[in-house]
A = this chain, B = another copy of it.
Amino acid sequence: MSSLVEVARAAGVAVSTASRVLNGSSHPISAATRARVIAAAERLGYSPSALARALVSRSTRLMGVLVSDIVNPYFSVIARGVDDVASRAGYVTMLSNVDRRTDIEINRMKTMRDYRAAGVIFAGSGYVDDPQAQELAASVRQAQEQGIQVVSLTMRDLDCPVITSDAQTAAYDITDHLISLGHRRIDFIEGPPGMVASKQRRDGFLACMRDAGLAEAAQCHPGGFDYEAGHAATMRIIPRPPLPDAILAANDEAAVGALNALRQAHIDVPGQVSVAGIDDLRVAQFVGLTTVSLPLYEMGAMAARHIIDNPTGTGSATTTMLSHRLIPRETTARR
């Protein structure tokens, strides 16, 4: 718990001298005193106060990330991307779960602002007609005026740079893949109601079906992003024949739920029905799920790098689109 003054005293030098050797200043220091200071610091177990340092330098190496739920692999992959580049740059990442609630999001973001985070990354999507969207936008603006970099990983009504992937086109592409396999009647299990992310994915699906002249054959079912939702939706599909040629779920976990529901009902996948998801999370590999790979890790990593590389809050609100990739596996087959 010794401070710089104590180290300086122990080394018989002025605090400024101690400071200069201990924080790698370019200021010239004689080898002798440098050694003395380092020895003293070592002996006293000196640990520089990042707090005090931040106070005077007016900048921290704190990287904020706001996720809906870190247990959701979608977000843990993003968080991993963030932390990898953050820690490599000497930053420490602050993580908060906001449970898809804008009020919590506002609140946590203010807490990170109080700690003067270098930047805050919004990993989760927004909501359609969110009554608190304005309040959030105002908080974001305020944070930016304080010099905090804000980056969003989805398109939202925030005046900040966006680093994202095109979920709508991803949904379009996987639907197109299904169609190219000869499937005509395709059922779509939607994401949670009200989320922009849900809407994008459904829109991509519908657009592709329409473009293929299959608008009539497209059917949407309420669902969600989790296993149970995909399972339940499929349980509602099964008893109403005819079965669709294929089922596309709004994300992988729901797709796995659909897959299991079908197999439990002794419906062969992909023999009778093909199943596909979106995201390409780890579970998709486990079950051999056909899906679209979204660059989640890269999004997190790029967002962190953006924050580190743009110390001033002057970055214009550009949008960076990272590309996705179709991953055909064993849950889809030619009709």
A128 interface residue (CB < 8 Å to B) = no
Q: A94 and B93: CB pair below 8 A?
A: yes
A256-B286, A286-B227 given; A47·B114 CB < 8 A: yes
Set of chain B residues within 8 Å of A283, measured between Cβ atoms: 283, 286
Q: B79 and A70: CB pair below 8 A?
A: yes
Q: How long is the Cα–Cα vector from A94 to B83 in the complex, in angstroms? A: 10
Q: How long is the Cα–Cα vector from A224 to B178 in the complex, in angstroms? A: 36
A51-B60, A70-B79, A71-B76 given; A111·B92 CB < 8 A: yes
A35 interface residue (CB < 8 Å to B) = no
Q: How long is the Cα–Cα vector from A48 to B114 in the complex, in angstroms? A: 6
Chain B nearest CB, measured from A289 CB (Å): 11
Set of chain B residues within 8 Å of A92, measured between Cβ atoms: 94, 96, 108, 111-112, 115
Q: B84 and A80: CB pair below 8 A?
A: no
A298 interface residue (CB < 8 Å to B) = no
A322 interface residue (CB < 8 Å to B) = no
Partner of A45, one of B47, B84, B93, B145: B145
A179 interface residue (CB < 8 Å to B) = no
Q: A87 and B96: CB pair below 8 A?
A: yes
Set of chain B residues within 8 Å of A83, measured between Cβ atoms: 70, 95-97
Q: How long is the Cα–Cα vector from A77 to B110 in the complex, in angstroms? A: 25
CB closest residue in chain B, given A61: B111
Set of chain B residues within 8 Å of A108, measured between Cβ atoms: 87, 92
A32 interface residue (CB < 8 Å to B) = no
A159 interface residue (CB < 8 Å to B) = no
Q: A95 and B113: CB pair below 8 A?
A: no
Set of chain B residues within 8 Å of A282, measured between Cβ atoms: 71, 227
A73 interface residue (CB < 8 Å to B) = yes
Partner of A97, one of B45, B87, B112: B87
Considering the complex, which residues of chain A in the window 203-252 have a beta carbon less than 8 Å from any beta carbon of chain B? Answer: 227
Interface residues of A (CB under 8 A from B): 1, 45, 47-52, 54-55, 60, 62, 69-71, 73, 76-77, 79-80, 83-84, 87, 90, 92-97, 108, 110-116, 142, 145-147, 227, 256-257, 260, 282-283, 285-287
Interchain residue pairs with CB less than 8 A apart (24) = A1-B145, A1-B146, A1-B147, A45-B145, A47-B146, A48-B114, A50-B116, A51-B55, A70-B79, A71-B73, A71-B282, A73-B73, A73-B76, A76-B76, A83-B95, A83-B97, A84-B97, A87-B96, A92-B94, A92-B111, A94-B94, A227-B286, A257-B286, A260-B286
